[in-house]
Structure 1
Amino acid sequence: MAQIADQRIDRIETGQLTYSYPRTVGRNSHLGSHGSGGTLPILVVRTSDGAHGWGIAAGSLSALPGLVGSRLGELFDPEVGVINEAAFPLDFALHDLAGRLLGEPVYSLLGKLGEPSVTCYSGAIYLDDLDPEGSPRGIDAVLENAAADFAAGYRAFKLKIGRGYRWQEPRAGLRRDIEVTRAVRTAFPTERILVDANDGYTGPGFVEYFEQVKDCDLFWIEEPFAETREDLALLRPLTGPTLIADGEAHPNVPELLELSREGLLDVLLMDVVSYGFTAWRQVMPSLREASVQASPHAWGQPLKSLYAAQLAAGLGNVVTVEGVPGTTAGIDTSGYPLVEGVLSVPAQPGFGIPLPTIPLAPVT
């Protein structure tokens, strides 16, 4: 470890990756179309001995030039993660670098408390029945998207609901949410179904929805409403084995942990990138103490699902991983096969993803 800690940062570079979805992803309860892909910034950190690590940029790059010349041990501890606030944008690059230097996968650095494979659901079933504007395709669009993701290897589907928050009159939106949920259950009688309202319901409104789909055997309900103790206490007695998941949007982690200790939440969802790999390492013991499981939010870039799978294999206590159907140009993710709904993690050093051959520029 001392030898690794003494390595000096020689260069920090940045570049852009392009990712794409297999189809245009539509609306959720609050937002319009999510498009067909986008770009994401990455960071590459290189040492004076020629080693490198890379990953998604996890914050502002403004302080990074001042880290060039630093000892790795001043920025990162393999047993903790990032230990210098200025280096937090390098969270993923430094984990990758440490794994490569030690010859171990990232999940080994994290403790290997989970399994090197984890169930993975499709997070891409949005409100596509409502599009295109003026000539909506109806429920068949949702079923077609679920079938396409099944063909891609997924065996669980997270359905966006909450149409009555913005896009339909509330009663019509409620009816359509119920119809879609029941239609997907009929089409896929043995697969997991999760639902996500993005806080698009009131507490009583969601109770009405849930009572109409109780026989659909939902695996979890996510962000049904802006979490309050009163509304969760209203819902909790009705859910049975269905898990209640929350904590994606603007998470107040101490409050979420308190609700979990009271038995009102089952799964916490802080984002794998914006919350951070290092932060997840720090908080997971508190989740175990509160008897609540994890499933880091990964929607957006397909690469985030792979990070979440490494976290699951390393820290354990992850109930499932959010999948983002799609590809990222220029990177080889063949070490992460998705087969029959299970995403496997490679044993190669670091994150097991070769450095992409894209233009890079020094961070200035």
Structure 2
Amino acid sequence: MRIVDIRERTFPISSPIRNSFIDFSKMTLSLVAVVTDEIRDGKPVVGFGFNSNGRYGQGALMKERFVPRLLEAEPESLLDESGLLDPHRAWDTMMTNEKPGGHGERSVAVGVLDMALWDARAKLEERPLFDLLAERHGTGTPDPRVFVYAAGGYYHPGKGLQGLKDELTSYLDRGYTVVKMKIGGAPLAEDRTRIEAALSILGEGQRLMVDANGRFTGEQAVECLEAIKDYDLFWFEEPVDPLDYEGTRLVSERAGTLPIATGENLFSHWDARNLGLYGGMDPQRDFLQLDCALSYGLVEYLRSLKALGELGWAPSRFIPHGGHQMSLNIAAGLGLGGNESYPDLFQPFGGFPDGCTVEDGHIRMPQLPGIGFEGKSDLAKVCASLLS
């Protein structure tokens, strides 16, 4: 078998919202299709992939370097012993002639293609990706029931406190038990008022997360921590710059029982390892949010799981950023602690296949081949547009 074509298109996922660092008015992502010469049900097997929000589309990098390497490779060099597409060998091909370090935007370009390659591989085997992952890299038995939380609570022009409460209430009404809101983009006193408004709508068994998107210095983060640590929050997310391990350590040492979550903007297993070594985080209390779509894909994510596992981090402490079905499959296949979800934002790329509902903060993965993009009708139409 061989790859016969790879197509990319940049799509807008703009929204009039902001977090503490960026607004999303011009946000884009890259959608790719990896087309093979294998036929299933009368059609070529095609793998799809796209990047998470917040890092923009990477079509230029893909078209200049990574796609040509895949298409110019000897077809057999991309296959495993079974004669099927091997994402690990394809990853090695994509990264040929790339220097180590400097993970920047290329990690996103490779992550998008890696997602599509895994989608294609599972479709070639005619089974869900989470089932394949459990067999190859997990315990052998997947857990199709996955914890999900609802991400939102952005700064939105004219929304106000009632708008924030209405938004979070709508997520709770849809079955979520944990919701997330942004902080760090307003004065601390204002953010405390927003947090208290959000807490006021929670019922029994429902929790709130707060996310500063790396806005603070270590000292500022500690000041914020002291102002919010008595609110009984689910976690305090990305309090400092993702590479400020000293700042992370300062916050972690003072957090008490409040979990710290970070890692969505770390793009290699080396960066993840450094966080584990020098960030002062507690593997029994805290959470890691590494996002395969932004960090060279699942091939590199497996290395990160191994590197951090050696430092005491169990898979259950990983709850990926991004809100996409790729991480849902990883969570179900490898026993992660859950996954982020965007119930309303960044559509049609966020959310779940049609018919999947959130019950008691969890969804149950459907038995769809590959990642399952075709099970979400609005996303399936967009994916199909790359092939027309």
Question: Which category of TM-score, normalised to the shorter sequence, fits these structures?
Answer: 0.7 to 0.9
Counterparts of 1:335-350 in structure 2 under 5 Å? Answer: 336-350=356-370
User: Could you say which residue in structure 2 is the equivalent of 1:42?
Assistant: 32
1:246 aligns with 2:262: yes
What is the identity, as a one-letter code, of the residue corresponding to 1:345?
A: M
Match of 1:28 among 9, 16, 19: 19
Counterparts of 1:232-243 in structure 2 under 5 Å? Answer: 232-243=248-259
1:104 aligns with 2:127: yes
User: Could you say which residue in structure 1 is the equivalent of 2:105?
Assistant: none
Note closer, same or farther for the CA distance 1:154–1:81 as it changes in structure 2 (3 Å cut): farther
Report 1 or 2 for greater relative contact order, CA contacts < 8 Å, sequence distance ≥ 6.
Answer: 1
What is the identity, as a one-letter code, of the residue corresponding to 1:61?
A: K
Counterparts of 1:35-114 in structure 2 under 5 Å? Answer: 35=25, 40-49=30-39, 51-57=44-50, 60-62=62-64, 63-65=66-68, 67-68=70-71, 74-75=77-78, 78=86, 80=88, 82-86=90-94, 88=110, 89-111=112-134, 112-113=138-139
RMSD over aligned CA atoms reads 3.2
How big is each residue's C-alpha offset from its partner over 1:316-350, in whole Å with a ceiling of 9 and x where there is no partner?
A: 2x223111123418x98226433332132222221
Identity %: 26
Unaligned runs of 5+ in 2: 52-57, 81-85, 96-109, 375-379
How big is each residue's C-alpha offset from its partner over 1:103-162, in whole Å with a ceiling of 9 and x where there is no partner?
A: 22111222254521221112221123xx23xxxx43222112111222333221111100
Question: Which of the two has greater strand per residue?
Answer: 1
Structure 1 distance, partners of 2:249, 2:279, is 12
User: Could you say which residue in structure 2 is the equivalent of 1:205?
Assistant: 220
Please report the TM-score for the alignment, with normalisation by the length of structure 1. 0.78
Counterparts of 1:159-174 in structure 2 under 5 Å? Answer: 159-164=181-186, 173-174=187-188
Note closer, same or farther for the CA distance 1:72–1:281 as it changes in structure 2 (3 Å cut): farther
1:308 aligns with 2:327: yes
Contact (CA 8 Å) 1:248, 1:271: kept in 2 or not? yes
User: C-alpha displacement at 1:259, in angstroms?
Assistant: 2.8
Contact (CA 8 Å) 2:77, 2:89: kept in 1 or not? no
Counterparts of 1:185-264 in structure 2 under 5 Å? Answer: 185-189=199-203, 190-226=205-241, 228-251=244-267, 252-259=271-278, 263=282
Contact (CA 8 Å) 1:79, 1:109: kept in 2 or not? no
User: Could you say which residue in structure 1 is the equivalent of 2:319?
Assistant: 295
Match of 1:11 among 5, 28, 35: 5
